[in-house]
Structure 1
């Protein structure tokens, strides 16, 4: 949490920090949002005892009883009072943005998205973010708190209409029934008059409830805005801020952070360096280059391989022992790469030695280190087809203003959805958009 407060942010003039103890961090007052929670006091159980222990631990330090690690059950009671507190203390705001302490928000890009994508927030009831599923069969959805969610002024007015103290919200039985406070808030909003659906009103592919390692990079979303990343350590939060602070001045005023920017700016060196080298060699080896393509790329590996690295699946195609017979039989790095090569939309793979080869279709993830036990027969090995990733970049360069404007013209996150939904079918017949006359926006799509 302190990493979010160490730097002055004049671009975020109304920051408020809510927690379950009252304290000061530098010049910032941290509000104990549970201090007057009648719902919590009615739950004379584990959560109430945990809250009391937190107060003792903060007051007396190591002399207090240890606090359990199930804080998320206590967190659920924060959503209602902090919603009402934000409304009562800042009633004239256009937007109310909520996020966890380990969430990084790309703030200037988020503001640009709000300003250019939606109607006047004082007249339009909007609930934006990651459209998480509570109960699909019952059509119940909510804005994932870790990914960050946004309420417009009109929606806040509706929540508190005829009830400025927020009593209806504070006493909603669902905050004591569900383990997740964000899902309870979502159901309360879904029940408001005039809400046509339990779904959110927008935010698909923009808000992410995991970190950079699990961000799904797809050609279809190459120039899509990146608004949030969750599950960041203090070191990662600082790294993201330092990168964003250095990167934003390189953009024109109308622009914002895109997913491809994060790939080329934040990917680990073992992946980024060979990818950039491959892109440069491919550009030099093109029709107008000094060398032909085969000569220019002959000395470069088309696949980057990393041992003890877990990348998770993307539109998974499992290639087990039967499948692998077509590519050499054994579960090896070489054969898994051959299996990927046989599928034109494969951008990476993960080999679980002795078990299976998992192909990532229509996209890829950066992943993270996974230290396998020395005694384990199964090792995690990941591979990225940088030749195919480089081809995506060649056909629609990340920094090309025309492609970035085309993405803006199509619109970012205008529908509800989740950024990590697999096998949507949207990528199967997707084609690279064609630039208009002069290399600008407004073009068709070409395969």
Structure 2
């Protein structure tokens, strides 16, 4: 049976503490939009440190590679030091700017890149300005413009993002050098908007031999290169990392520098070098996941439960803001206190997402996709849209844009806030809560014990 409820050790705590702690967690979970964790969160996380780390035996065998950039590191690094890095004994933080944040050295990943490249390639103009003048080298207008740049399927067209592709191979080389000094057998790479579930990751890699060339990741394909998506996090065995560093630095440095210069995705560059070195990619989605948990959809049908992400153990989520990371860390710690089972996607949906699904949310996009056709000029209400969904037995949710576009969906997602923007229609979303709850109850019976993707 799947364990859905959080079970804190109430016999060790007073009822008064449990009451106020429950209120605290509730109000933290509904505050979706805080940009960074506040002082209250930090105090909670510090007090929970010793208890939360007891589930992380085995991390001494792992070297963790955390990648960030100067435009984001002041928000990201303190958040991760208090959460995903708190229990990690051996790690390095790589950026495009050498500095100390909260007493921790953030290393320049690019300091050993060939000088002629840094002097001549346009991607490094931003880097050179950053080294010469720090963050103050950039005007408020430039920073505002970069912050407002929207992400696309090909990334964000900002100087910091274009520079980022150059970090992957140098970071791999640095990580091998630093990790070898700790005796690491595994290397886990992730980024500032990723969340890593260490208890789960350690259980996963315990099934594998680090002497074999393992490369575990959420697969992406560009051209003929299959590679692990960097934002989802990826895992390399010691042997795999040794092989790619030999391929890159010791044999084909100029080739991979030229390949990086002509490419746009650094995780693809690393994936090519691994493939060239003879290291295959294990397609490890949905364990390593590229979605935010509120945007991960579940098909509202149990006819083929094995195709659902629901039953798989979680190693990571992506697109996590600092406030999301703090909230997920608090949730995970409570889960680990009260449950012997590993967290699966279904557990996160039931305990972290489902409490926010109601019959209706205004200024909200639940990412419904199937447009309902009406005669041109018809005025549509939420009630009209609800009736369409109600008449479709497999419809789980619906949304209305303005008064003209009704969408329905067989998938269930919470989605994201959709605030009114000038020139855009307002949006409201609704869910068939009785169907969602029935789906959760039925899926509880389907999940077996095989939650990992393995070779």
Instruction: Give the structure 2 partner of residue 412 of structure 1.
Output: 452
Which residues in structure 2 correspond to 1:321-332 (within 5 Å)? 321=374, 330-332=379-381
Partner of 1:425: none
Secondary structure of the 2:82 match is coil
Shift of 1:311: 2.0
49, 69, 79: which is aligned to 2:168? Answer: 79
Match of residue 311, structure 1, among 353, 366, 377: 366
* In 2, Cα distance between equivalents of 1:370 and 1:64: 31
Residues 43, 264 of structure 1: CA spacing in aligned structure 2 closer, same or farther, 3 A cutoff? farther
Unaligned runs of 5+ in 1: 275-303, 416-447
Q: When the two structures are superposed, what TM-score results if normalisation uses the length of structure 1? A: 0.71
The 3 A distance-change label for structure 1 pair 43 and 144 is farther
The 10-residue stretch of structure 1 (43-52 or 104-113) with the greater mean CA deviation from structure 2? 43-52
Residue of structure 1 in register with 2:9 after alignment: none
Equivalent-residue separation in structure 2 for 1:242 and 1:170 (angstroms): 45
Q: SS of the residue aligned with 1:312?
A: coil
Structure 1 partner of 2:219: 131
- What does the per-residue CA deviation read over 1:154-193, in whole Å, with 9 as the maximum and x for residues that have no partner? 2113213477x55535750221111111111112222233
Alpha-carbon shift at residue 266 of structure 1 (Å): 2.2
Count residues with an aligned counterpart: 354
Asked if the contact 1:319–1:356 (Cα under 8 Å) also holds between the matched residues in 2, the reply is yes
Residue 268 of structure 1 and its aligned partner are, at CA, apart by 7.4
State the 1:194 CA deviation: 6.6
Question: 2-side partners of 1:267 and 1:223: how far apart?
Answer: 16
Q: CA deviation at 1:43?
A: 6.1
Instruction: State which of 342, 349, 372 in structure 2 corresponds to 1:263.
Output: 349
Cα 1:82/1:177, change in 2 over 3 Å: same
2:419 corresponds to which of 371, 385, 394: 371
- Counting only pairs closer than 5 Å after superposition, residues 209-358 of structure 1 correspond to structure 2 as 209-218=290-299, 220-252=308-340, 255-267=341-353, 269-271=355-357, 304-313=359-368, 316-321=369-374, 330-358=379-407
Report the equivalent of 2:136.
62
Paired with 1:39 and 1:154, the residues of 2 have a C-alpha distance of 29
Q: Report if the CA contact (8 A) 1:76-1:180 is conserved.
A: yes
Q: Secondary structure at the match of 2:407?
A: strand
In the alignment, which residue of structure 2 is the partner of 1:121? Answer: 210
1:222 is paired with a residue of what secondary structure? helix
Q: Does 1:109 align with 2:200?
A: yes
* Counterparts of residues 12-51 of structure 1 (less than 5 Å): 12-38=88-114, 41-42=117-118, 44-51=120-127
Render the CA deviation track for 1:112-141: whole Å, top value 9, x for unaligned. 12224xx31212x22212112313xxx432
Give the alignment's TM-score, normalised by structure 2.
0.70
Q: Whose radius of gyration is greater, 1 or 2?
A: 1
> Aligned with 2:91: secondary structure?
coil
CA distance in 2, matches of 1:128, 1:193: 14
SS in 1 for 2:191: coil
CA distance in 1, matches of 2:277, 2:255: 15
Unaligned segments of structure 2, at least 5 residues: 1-75, 147-157, 303-307
Q: Partners in 1 of 2:291 and 2:431 — Cα distance? A: 20
CA distance in 2, matches of 1:217, 1:234: 25
Select the structure with the greater relative contact order (CA < 8 A; seq sep ≥ 6).
2
Question: Matched residues in 2 for 1:268 and 1:52: separation?
Answer: 47
Do the aligned partners of residues 333 and 374 (structure 1) sit closer, same or farther apart at CA in structure 2, a change above 3 Å counting?
A: same
Q: 1:177 aligns with which of 241, 262, 272?
A: 262
Aligned-CA RMSD value: 2.9
